[in-house]
Amino acid sequence: MFSSKSSSAADMIKPRTYDVFLSFRGKDTRDGFVSYLYKDLCRKNIETFIDDEELRKGDEISGALLTAIQGSRVSVIVFSKDYASSKWCLAELVKIMDCNKWVVPVFYGVDPRDIRNQTGSFAEAFAKHEENFKHELEKVKTWRTALTAAGKLSGWDSQVTRPESRLIDEIVDDILKKLNRGTSNAYLKGLVGIHRRMEQVMSLIQVGFPDVRRLGIWGMGGTGKTTLAEAIFHHISNGFQSCYFLANVRESEEHGRLFQLRQEFLSTIMEDENLNISTPTIGAGFLKDRLSRKMVLIVCDDVSNSSQLEFLFKGINQLCPGSRVIVTTRNKQVLIQNDIDLIYEMEKLDEDESLQLFCQRAFKSNYPTGYRLELSKMVLSVADGNPLAIKVVGSSLYGKDKTYQESTVKKLKQGRTETM
């Protein structure tokens, strides 16, 4: 599925994508740890960019390296003693952190606290940078900010995971899990407009940053809130220690199943099938202790009132840094009342997206021709960018003859308010 090879400037003439970008200080680790790690990535058929020294010339990071970073799904940063002494390494780091993709830090022979706080050898390196770049101190400040953020990420410590062969095995397994959990093309097939919306949400939740973030996806019924939440869940879940998607919260309450949903949620997130919390208040201290040490991803879908969230999260008032909670709702007040300040409002499908979705459902093609074009325009003027409405009408017309389709759409347009 993947292939792995070293890259040179010639390889980068046309943009390409990689599974992994390796950032490291060459003189520290190229001939040792990094070479063994790279070899193992190759063995697992993971396409990896390992830079050539030829790409590091002048004062700025090369376009080839920028392209490789942007085109990689995961960046592995090998922090070593002299990493911060390289302005190219620091420039790479800034770009990596800006991309908001998966980052796997490896603390090779260094204390993560030295990276976070720029102490030890990192303090010495920055003293020199501040002297050499005394007229560009803003650049040095940017390097410091990126180092601090990267140092706070959960990563691999060579002084904790030993021997080195085991460390490499676990890093490669971690990368494989992240790559395998990325949303597959098969899952996204037919989801019109999903990529643009996923990018917008990803820019808000910024997976990999060490804070706890709660995001609300808000919009009217049928706009694709659940579909978007599911796509995000599949795309990022591999970066968390435990995940759970609480589906149909409103419906669960209506059918008296909210307690059962909470029980299933907690059993899964705690990875304990025998967990039995008989009332919402029992075990609050236990929940707080366990969840404050486990980075989790939780999605609550179709929440209609604040009491549902209060019940499901009773006793859970502290999550581990890096955790993410996503709530979908038709009621914006639910988000406001629960202090969820990151709110993504679902957009309607634009004209092109609406046309593509309708044609997929009604004609099994992406774009209409002949009488179908006029038919499509009539339907879309009524559906007004609502994905569910477009899918329902399109599916009802599939396989029917021209006379039936035209007659149905005319009736739809005449009774648009009542029908839709």
By annotation, the residues acting in catalysis are 92
For residues 344 and 314, is the Cβ–Cβ distance under 8 A? Answer: no
- Spatial neighbors of 397 by CB under 8 A, at least 6 apart, are 361, 362, 404, 405, 408, 409
- Residue 10 DSSP label: G
Closest CA to 11 of 60, 65, 59: 65
For residues 217 and 328, is the Cβ–Cβ distance under 8 A? Answer: yes
Locate all alpha helices (DSSP H) within 101-224, ordered by sequence.
112-117, 121-132, 137-151, 164-181, 185-188, 194-205
Residue owning tokens 């202790």: 289
Helices and strands, number each (H, E), in the chain? 21, 10
Q: What angle do CA 375, 381, 385 make, to 5 degrees?
A: 115
Strand partners, 177: none
For residues 358 and 394, is the Cβ–Cβ distance under 8 A? Answer: yes
